Structure 1
Amino acid sequence: MIVINARFLTQKITGVQRYALEICKRLPKEIGGEKVLFVSPKVRSSKNFNTELNLIQIGQFSGQLWEQLDLPIFLKKNKNPLLVNLVGIAPIFYKNKIMALYDLAFKHYPEWFSYKFQKSYNLLIPLSLKNTKTVVTDSFYVKEDIHKTYKIKKSNIHVVYAAPSKIFHQMDFKRENFFLTVSSIDPRKNLKRIIEAFNLIKSDYKLVIVGSKHKTFSGLSLEENLLNERIIFTGYLEDDELIELYNKAEIFIYASLFEGFGIPPLEAQACGCPCIVSNTTSLPEVYADSVEYCDPHSVESIKEKMNYLLNDHPRRIQLKKMGQLNIKRFDWDFSAKKFENIIAEHIL
């Protein structure tokens, strides 16, 4: 038996949950002759998950307590099978496991996170990594960071790229005069500088910000004088609403300070929207020459790129075409097969 820690099914779908969902939807029912079983807490699971998969709900707790108490008890009762942990810390003392780790922002920038979150991650992630057979991550940038930070052999860290879901595609909507950004409302997404840069632009464009606050992150303070009627916060949106916005936006901006991969610009590219992206961490690896790059630490740089694309229609058309080529580099079917092979290699 192979057990998938499916606690992510109880969470809102953001980047890491979408990664887990897309991989899990494509895993076969058996790998190396072992049945694949999905195990989650006894709470409502995601409507996005394929109910035909072998999902059972166990335990008395939820959240971290479920992961550190209920799940290890279940594993012990079932002869300590291989555990695949796609989101979160994983049972820290369980050794027969594969663990996904998408970035080390909690280590390098603890101030971006709630005190409870960053303390638990900085204490427990190193312990969990120590008791892990192998690590999977989403970019070569993060692989190098994990190797340097936690002294894990590079041969024991596997890169499996994310990809845009096939639900994100071009539709027959007329483009409208607004910039779009999609992210959690948290410090690393750099919304304050994006808003400051936007306010320096003289145009009739609006700025639409999709995302919601989460208890994981520290508070984001935006001065009232930065906000006006041209800046629209939508909160969290379901996929059908998000796809429509990607197809209506004239320009997508993702001036994040730190990313392990960064899926939203790929989703925008799949919907035919030209992108401005930060020139830092994993993003140049993922987006190559298919976007305009800005310095996320410079309001002036962000403003210049926004102004440039706003006023250069041929460049926007060119970036749409380059974006369509870029997304072909990433495919969930290929990534899931790679993940399946990693699992097969580590079955006892």
Structure 2
Amino acid sequence: MVIAINTKALLPDKLEGFGYYIEEIFSRIAKNHPEHDFYFFFDRPFDKKFIYATNIHPIVIKPQARFPLAWTIWYNWMLPIYLKRIKADVFISPDGFCSLTTSVPQCLVVHDLAFLHYPQFISKAHLRYYQKNTKRFLNKAKIVVTVSDYSRQDMLQHFQLAANKIQVIGNAANAIFQPVTEAESESIKTKYTDGAEFFIYTGSIHPRKNLINLLKAFSLFKKRLRSNMKLVIAGRLAWKTEEFTKLLATFKFRNDVIITGYLQRNELAILTASAYAMVYPSYFEGFAVPPLEALQCAVPAIVANSSAMPEVGADAYLYINPESAEDIAEKMMLIYKDENLRSRLIANGSERVKLYNWDDAAEKMWQCIQLAATTE
């Protein structure tokens, strides 16, 4: 088969959610199936490190597609030309967008429908694009893959789709996320927190991640316990961050909040494994990989009790009401004071992470690709 894949999110030194997903899944599939040709479609110059096998052929398709008009041109005008040129048997798009103008069968990955639930956290132009096209994308695709049963049910509720069209393939934590030695932990604390214990949030900074309430909760934690605990926020400023940066500038405990910016994965893994606990108060997630990465590092995770997160974590997470800074603070204090609870969550987490495996996910994706290519 000739298999084309949208790999626009493979950005050197900027890998995040979609990019990590593509790397984990499609590097494995290409290596496992050398008898097939894989075409990676980029929208800008690419790093050769993303060409994971000799049967991967990179192609740059212009323009750079980072806003609605460019998305329309890239997917509907330019992409069909290249799909026809390489005689593609199937096209896979991991970012929720597909081509409405090609006749090539498509396998579409939709991680969540956050734009329906929290439209205020997305730009108006992007929101209009999602509102106009998501249903069309779902109808156009031969097979739709999503990352949790929550997201599957969400799509079935909001769009009239055949239930067997949507396949669930869960995410996983990268193998680099592992427990660290005490010496490694102390070294990373010296580097980031002057040796103090710390809570950690990892991920980009934007309103849906609910970091305003995290700051408020951390303030309550500090006032009530008077500990030297720090809060590390490991991620880049994404969009609509004005309220967050304004609050942080006047935050009483701002010297106890460390913003690392974007980190390479190996550094992020060591930092995560050195934390006392992860706090992940996001309002809405189709899966949420960072808390699972924490579990794999033997670090407990305090996680919102919303969307797909209880499905993923079950009894391995300590749950919070993301709307309540008071509740977030109480759970941070609880895990700080109750070592038995912390140990139990770590033990539960070590079992929970065994359910999610990138090798299994890649094999299931391969089956979906074959299904999309042969579905009439």
TM-score scaled by length of structure 1? 0.93
The reply to whether residue 246 of structure 1 matches residue 268 of structure 2 is no
Shift of 1:29: 5.6
Q: What one-letter code is carried by the residue in structure 2 that aligns with 1:44? A: F
Q: 1:82 to 1:267 in 2, by over 3 A?
A: same
Shift of 1:166: 0.8
- The CA RMSD over aligned residues, in Å, is 2.1
Shift of 1:56: 1.7
Distance across 1 between alignment mates of 2:337 and 2:48: 42
Matching residue of 2:58? 56
Shift of 1:47: 4.0
More displaced 10-residue stretch of structure 1: 241-250 or 300-309: 241-250
- Greater helix share, 1 or 2? 2
The reply to whether residue 149 of structure 1 matches residue 173 of structure 2 is no
SS in 1 for 2:255: coil
Please list every run of 5 or more consecutive structure 1 residues that lacks an aligned counterpart in the other structure: none
Distance across 2 between alignment mates of 1:140 and 1:111: 25
Contact 1:250 1:273 in 2 (8 A): yes
Distance across 1 between alignment mates of 2:48 and 2:126: 23
Distance across 1 between alignment mates of 2:114 and 2:19: 17
Distance across 2 between alignment mates of 1:276 and 1:286: 13
Q: 1:105 to 1:324 in 2, by over 3 A?
A: same
Contact 2:145 2:166 in 1 (8 A): yes
Matching residue of 2:68? none
The reply to whether residue 209 of structure 1 matches residue 233 of structure 2 is yes
Contact 1:94 1:131 in 2 (8 A): no
More displaced 10-residue stretch of structure 1: 93-102 or 134-143: 93-102
Please list every run of 5 or more consecutive structure 2 residues that lacks an aligned counterpart in the other structure: 66-70, 187-195
Shift of 1:288: 0.4
Give aligned-pair identity as a percent.
32
Equivalent residues in 2 for 1:254-273, closer than 5 Å: 254-273=280-299
Matching residue of 2:189? none
Shift of 1:46: 7.2
Shift of 1:88: 4.1
Q: What one-letter code is carried by the residue in structure 2 that aligns with 1:186? A: H
Q: What one-letter code is carried by the residue in structure 2 that aligns with 1:164? A: A
SS in 1 for 2:331: helix
The reply to whether residue 174 of structure 1 matches residue 185 of structure 2 is yes
Shift of 1:27: 0.3
Distance across 1 between alignment mates of 2:231 and 2:256: 6
Residues 20-48 of structure 1: per-residue CA shift (max 9 Å, x gap): 21110110468697533322234123745
* Alignment size in residue pairs: 346
The match for 1:68 among 71, 76, 90 is 76
The reply to whether residue 2 of structure 1 matches residue 3 of structure 2 is yes
Contact 2:75 2:100 in 1 (8 A): no
Shift of 1:135: 0.3
Contact 1:187 1:220 in 2 (8 A): no
Distance across 2 between alignment mates of 1:326 and 1:48: 30
Distance across 2 between alignment mates of 1:30 and 1:319: 35
Q: 1:218 to 1:150 in 2, by over 3 A?
A: farther
Residues 228-278 of structure 1: per-residue CA shift (max 9 Å, x gap): 101111111111210121121111111110000000001111111111111
Shift of 1:302: 0.4
